[in-house]
Structure 1
Amino acid sequence: MKSVYRVLAYLVALEVVVQAAAIAFAVAGLGAWISQGGVLDAAAMESESTEFTGVAGFMVHGINGQMILPLIALLLLLSSFFAGIPGGVLWAGLVLLTVVVQVLLGIFGHGAPVLGLLHGAVALVLFSLAVVAARRSETALRAADDVVAPGTAGVA
């Protein structure tokens, strides 16, 4: 179960990277589209037909951030109860809490764009927490391996 915890923690960190890449792709594509004469107004935002290179980045960022990442963080917390990693429940709980804050900042950031500053900064915190959680699991895995002396595994 320690390995499951480690994989899930690293997946959270990877998802933060995917989120950053997706939104950068979307904004860069939007900027290029506008510089080529595209117009972004309320009608274009509500239209299902507004297409430009990078538009999928907005969809990936939204779906990933509101559904996939919270699910992985929840699975990380659930696995922490069975992994037996010292402090594992605490770190997994902090990851999940930070994901919840991120989702709320993303949702409310549409009404208060200044929250986007926090959304970006908290993403770095989330990445760091996930990596720390994963590294703690690696330490616990090494400690478990050290308990069994080399050459004695499987000897009854």
Structure 2
Amino acid sequence: MRSAYRAVSGLILLGVVVQLVVIAAAWFQVLNDVDNGGVFDNNTRNWAHNAHSVVGMMVIPLLAVALLVISFFAGVPNGVRYALLVFGAVVLQIVLAFASYSVPGLGALHGLNALAVAGLAENAMRKARVARQMPAAVA
């Protein structure tokens, strides 16, 4: 189960990286479209905006729930605590995303919290790797 804990933590980290890549691609595509005579309005969405929504609203939250469930069986020292922190940061990320539509300045916190999600997931992944290397009596 430690391997599953480590793998899911790594997938969450990878998901955040994908989020960063696709949102940058989304807005550069919008800028390119506007430069070529397109209009920026409420209907301006492209493949990368859609990917950002799917990964952020479905994939990462499901992985965070999976990590939390796995954490109870993985035997990773402080694994449940890290899984709860990851889960809480993911929930906060979703709240910040929706709140940013009403209060655009919160978008900065949405971006900053993404880094927190990545850092917490990386920490959880590292804890599982270190726990795997320890003898069972020490862990």
TM over 0.5: yes
Shift of 1:14: 0.3
Residue 18 of structure 1: aligned partner = 18
Q: Deviations over 1:56-98 (max 9, x none)?
A: 1100101111111000000001000000111000000000000
For normalisation by structure 1, the TM-score amounts to 0.84
Say whether 1:67 aligns with 2:58: yes
For normalisation by structure 2, the TM-score amounts to 0.94
Residue 4 of structure 1: aligned partner = 4
SS for the counterpart of 1:41 is coil
Q: Deviations over 1:98-142 (max 9, x none)?
A: 000001111111111111100000001110000000000001000
Shift of 1:144: 3.4
1:71 and 1:10 map into 2 onto residues whose CA distance is 14
Question: When the two structures are aligned, how many residues end up with a matched partner?
Answer: 138
2:25 and 2:132 map into 1 onto residues whose CA distance is 37
SS for the counterpart of 2:107 is helix
Matches within 5 A, 1:26-105: 26-42=26-42, 45=43, 55-105=46-96
2:40 and 2:22 map into 1 onto residues whose CA distance is 19
2:55 and 2:15 map into 1 onto residues whose CA distance is 8
Aligned partner of 2:81: which letter? L
Matches within 5 A, 1:123-138: 123-138=114-129
**Runs of 4 or more consecutive aligned structure 1 residues displaced over 4 Å after TM superposition:** none
Greater Rg over alpha carbons, structure: 1
2:128 and 2:19 map into 1 onto residues whose CA distance is 24
SS for the counterpart of 2:85 is helix
CA RMSD of aligned residues (A): 1.6
Aligned partner of 1:137: which letter? A
